[in-house]
Amino acid sequence: MQKRKLGKNNLEVSALGLGCMSMSFGYGPAADKHEMISLIRKAVELGVTFFDTAEVYGPFMNEELVGEALAPMRNQVVIATKFGFDCDAGKQSGVTSEPARIKRVVEASLKRLKTDVIDLLYQHRVDPNVPIEDVAGTVKELIQAGKVKHFGMSEAGAQTIRRAHKVQPVTALQSEYSLWWREPETEILLTLEELGIGFVPFSPLGKGFLTGAISADTKFDKTDFRNNVPRFSEENRKTNQALVDLIGRFAAQKKVTPAQVALAWLLAQKPWIVPIPGTTKLHRLQENIGAVSVQLSPEDLRELESAASKIAVQGARYPEHLQKLVGR
């Protein structure tokens, strides 16, 4: 597996990470814990060194899973987790980044992750009630105390990133980015390049849609949050199929899979981009890792770019209450 550096802070990780959220949360019932431990360990065997979790996934369950799975090979891997949602009552209820709570969350996350240091600690969403300077300053104290190595932000806007970065250098931004969500190209990527911050795209396969495995007829489990995502309404899935068909045709020419094209496209955008596709299936993990070897020429990228830009993707990527938390 190739390695990449996230920004100027020398955090070196595998070119593709593994998003662990879906193993416990968000896409229907939690998967079997023992199977997921085995899948995470298999990812390490296959060269993945970068694993993503958060206290709110479950809540708490996903950190426990990742901690148990990676404990035997802790010194070979980079673990990223997040604070910033209030889930003290056992379910997510709004954002909160009070400095005292950040410190409390970190102590709890360290225990669940069975480690004495968090490699990359993200603010999950910007809290409008706490100045970002206070958040960055708190993480700086945690870094000085040896409990955290790197500071990250998620779904933050460019100006907020700049303000935080002045207090404590930001190593990575995690936000959604893929062939069907290109918004980071307008301002975020330029800001990250200028400041020397790495980019970690989540949902690089469009929450599964770009793999070609989801159609207008697909029925999601009642606990799957895609049921509430406008972009995944039956009507919008029908319209958005045009982008999946385009990627599928391109993949067939290259003799690879649509998922591999979508991931290879992201990897080709910048050398400091590290996508974190999630999965609960071994064959999908192997398929995703195969994307690192797919070479897209400048001509391939232009062709894909030009065809994709003619397709208007329908539907918001979040319900309105969640969209309000993005880009602050």
pLDDT in tens, 247-277: 999 999 999 999 999 999 999 999 999 999 9
Type of residue found at 304: L
pLDDT in tens, 48-84: 999 999 999 999 999 999 999 999 999 999 999 999 9
pTM (two decimals): 0.97
Domain ranges within the chain, ordered by starting residue: 3-205+265-294
Give the active site residue among 57, 122, 177, 318: 57
The architecture that CATH gives domain 3-205+265-294 is Alpha-Beta Barrel (3.20)
For the chain, first and last CA: distance in Å?
A: 35
Q: Is the pLDDT of residue 187 over 90?
A: yes
With a CB cutoff of 8 Å and minimum separation 6, the contacts of 180 are 206, 209, 210, 240, 243, 313
DSSP letter (8 states) at residue 267:
H
Q: How far apart are CA 122 and CA 153, in angstroms?
A: 5
pLDDT in tens, 93-128: 899 999 999 999 999 999 999 999 999 999 999 999
90 pLDDT tier (thresholds 50, 70, 90) = confident
Residue 59, preceding peptide bond in cis (omega within 30° of 0): yes
User: What percent of the chain stands above pLDDT 90?
Assistant: 95
Q: Give the model's pLDDT for residue 91.
A: 85
- Residue 198, SS3? strand
**Residue 177 a catalytic site member:** no
